[in-house]
Each structure stands twice: as C-alpha cells, then as structure tokens.
Amino acid sequence: MRILSIETSCDETSLAIVAQNEAGFMVEKNLVSSQATIHAQYGGVVPEVAAREHAAWIFPLMQELEIPHDGKRIDAIAVTAGPGLVPALRIGVELGKVLAWSWHKPLVAVNHLEGHLYSVWLETPHPPVFPAVCLLVSGGHTELILMKNHGEYQLLGMTRDDAAGEAFDKVAKLLELPYPGGPMISKIALEGDSTMIDFPRPMFDSPNLDFSFSGLKTAVRLCVEEFQHQGTLDPSVRAGIAASFQQAVVDVLVHKTLKAVQQTHPKSVILSGGVSANRLLRETLREKLSMLHSDITFHSPPLAFTGDNAAMIGVAGLIKAKRKEFVDPLSLHADPNMSLTSL
C-alpha cells in the first residue's frame, strides 16, 4: 500500500509518498520546504505568514512528486488535521480533501503528535514493541505518553507551561541567537561548561510525571541580565549558559522518562519530536536506559525525521488506513486543539 501524505501544521510545508511492504515503512519521497529563515526575522512563527508560504509552496512540491494526474499508484491520502496553527493547517487539509475527492481515494486525518510518535517506525526492520513509553518533545509539546498499541494512547504527564523546544527557542533569544533556537543552543553548548551555572531543575522531585520550563527560562534571563550588567557576557560565558541550560532540560526530561518507565514497565522507549535531534538528550537517555533496563529497546527517529515532515504522517496514515479509519473529504476540518488521547 502506498500513501500520499501532507503536513502543514506549523512552518514546514511537506509532502511525502510512503509505502508499506515486508521490509516496513519505506519513504519513496519526502519533500520539506522550511520557512524557518522567513520566521526568524519575527523571532517566531507568524501564523498568517506560514499559511501564505504553505499556499505558495504546496503546488510546486506536488508537481515535484510527479504523481500522474489521476492519482494512479496512490492508494490513500493522509493529512495532518491538528494540532497546530489553523491558517497553516487549513492549506494542507484543503489539498487533502480536494485530492481525495477528485481521485476517489480514501482520506485519513492524522494527529500531528501521532505522526511524531510514528517517525520511529520509518525505514527500520526493528520498530518499537508495545507497550512503549514515549517522550514527545517539540516546539509546542512536551508529553510523556504510554502507547499501549497502535492508536491507543494514555497521557502520563505533560508540561504545565512552556514546551521544551519553546524553552530552547526563548533562551536562544535571550542569548541573541536566531530562531529556531534549539540547534543553535546545542551548537554553542559544545564549547561551554555545563557545570558553570547550577540552573534549577523544575519539578524534578514532583510526585507526578509533569514538567515545567518557564521558571528555568526566568532563571536564565536573570543570569544573562547579571552578566550583561557586569559587562562580561562574552562568547565563552554565553556558551557556558547554553550548556548549563541544556543540561538542566536534559536532566529533567531523562529523569521523568525513567520514572515513567519504572511506573509502567514498557518494552520500548520512544524519543521523538523536534527536540529529539538534541544529541545530549538522545545519548543520555539511551545510555541511562541501557544501564538500568537493558531489556527495554530505545528508539529515536533518523535526524532527517526529527523535525516536521510528511513521511511520519504517512506512517500514521498507513496504519489508520489499514484499520479503515477514513474521514469524509467533504466534512473534514482542521482542529487546532486535536488531542491524542481522545482519538
């Protein structure tokens, strides 16, 4: 089975063709047009600008896929229906509806977060085994989810304020680094001493599996202001602040994930979402998990599939299509608050 998938929930316009065969979920094409440099001048994603860019890019990308005009070779269409920015989501949703209706193909509505979870099924002969504890860390979400089976999710914990990626982006702004901040923070952190500042680890010892990052962000702001006041915010201090901040975030994320593992006894652990590109996070979680629970398998997506992409939406779409979870192309709407656990 072969699916055409569409992703426009934030600032990446992406189309993919994913096929399922004996070897697993294979990406035949995955085109991503990023608007990051456009939004960088505003310091964050502007929904109307994102929608305009999606509208400008989606048809050139569609042409690049070289699908015959009658949609031959495509068995179904999957589109991200939420959560995300409504004006942005709508561009992809409307394209999905038009293609499904005119080609007479079944349409699948995919939750963007579900797409991130399924990114670890891409191009691997060894996908996760259920139940799986999933740490989903992106620009908009920080959640611990127990995936009991395909499509069966239980929310274990979530951030009470900022998402982990959002914290990276805001701290980058304080350090005058361009948007998106995550990759820049991790880059300059390589030159810094992660023990330079002992930033707080918010909710580290809380009895639940929730997170909070806004207090940490405030601590970084106060620290930056102090160095600015003294006139000593030089590159090595900035690298030290970045490394210390990154270490604090990683410590909390890894600690809470291991706590979720202790509580739920999964067979696999999944780390996905844009922040899963962070090397320190990947390596720390992988190492600690193998030290403490060598029987539990660890899965994180290939770097090309950590950020937003349509290939991951294709995998989720193929799994839903197999279960005939189709939607009516005439009545599908973008849902900015689409929840994973009420699917």
Stretch that binds ligand KG4, among 58-66, 127-135, 274-282, 334-342 (CB under 6 A): 274-282
Closest CA to 273 of 260, 282, 262: 282
Contact positions with Zn ion (CB under 5 A) in 249-308: 308
Nearer to ligand KG4 among residue 32 and residue 74 (C-beta): 32
Residue from 168, 211, 213, 298 touching ligand KG4 (CB under 6 A): that is 168
Asked if 180 is part of the footprint of ligand KG4 (rule: CB under 6 A), the reply reads yes
Partner from ligand KG4, Zn ion, none binding residue 318, C-beta < 5-8 Å depending on class: none
SS3 assignment for 88-146: HHHHHHHHHHHHHHHHCCCEEEEEHHHHHHHHHHECCCCCCCCCEEEEEECCCCEEEEE
Tell me if 7 contacts Zn ion by CB under 5 A.
no
Other Cβ atoms closer than 10 A to 94:
17
Name the residue among 73, 76, 83 with its Cα closest to residue 115.
83
Beta bridge partners of 341: none
Closer CB to ligand KG4, residue 285 or residue 296? 285
- Closest of 29, 27, 33 to residue 88, by C-alpha: 33
Check the CA dihedral 195-197-198-199 and report its sign.
negative
State the Cα–Cα distance between residues 37 and 58, nearest whole angstrom: 18
**Interface size with Zn ion, residues (CB under 5 A):** 2
- 188 sits near ligand KG4 (criterion: CB under 6 A): no
Contact pattern for Zn ion over residues 120 through 139, marking x by CB under 5 A: ------------------x-
Which DSSP state fits 159? B
CA atoms within 13 A on the CB side of 88: 24
Give me the residue label for tokens 């994320």.
253
> Whole-angstrom Cα distance, residue 167 to residue 159?
11
Which of 133, 169, 188, 240 binds ligand KG4 (CB under 6 A)? It is 169
Sole binder of ligand KG4 in the list 203, 308, 315, 318 (CB under 6 A)? 308
C-alpha span between 165 and 331 (Å, rounded) = 33
Single residue of 106, 182, 266, 329 touching ligand KG4 by CB under 6 A: 182
Tell me the angle at which helices 214-230 and 164-174 cross, rounded to the nearest 10 degrees.
Answer: 10
What, of ligand KG4, Zn ion, none, does residue 168 touch, CB below 5 to 8 Å by kind?
ligand KG4
Is there a binding annotation on residue 261? Answer: no
Is 99 annotated for ligand binding?
no
Segment lying near ligand KG4 (by CB under 6 A), choices 124-132, 272-280, 318-326, 328-336: 272-280
Residue listed under structure tokens 């918010």: 202
Site size for ligand KG4 (CB under 6 A): 19
Site for ligand KG4 in 205-264 (CB under 6 A): none
Q: Is 311 helix (H, G, I), strand (E, B) or coil?
A: helix
Which residue in 87, 92, 165, 202 binds ligand KG4 (CB under 6 A)? 165
Contact 167, 161 (CB under 8 A): no
Q: Is 314 annotated as a binding residue?
A: no
- The answer to whether the annotation marks 161 as part of a ligand binding site is no
Instruction: Answer yes or no whether residue 274 interacts with ligand KG4 by CB under 6 A.
Output: yes
Give yes or no for residue 10 binding ligand KG4 (CB under 6 A). yes
Phi and psi for 26 in degrees, rounded to 5? -105, 135
Annotated binding site for substrate: 136-140, 169, 182, 278
Annotated binding site for Fe cation: 112, 116, 308
Binding site for ligand KG4 (CB under 6 A): 10, 138-140, 165, 168-169, 180-183, 186, 273-275, 277-278, 307-308
Annotated binding site: 112, 116, 136-140, 169, 182, 278, 308
Binding site for Zn ion (CB under 5 A): 138, 308
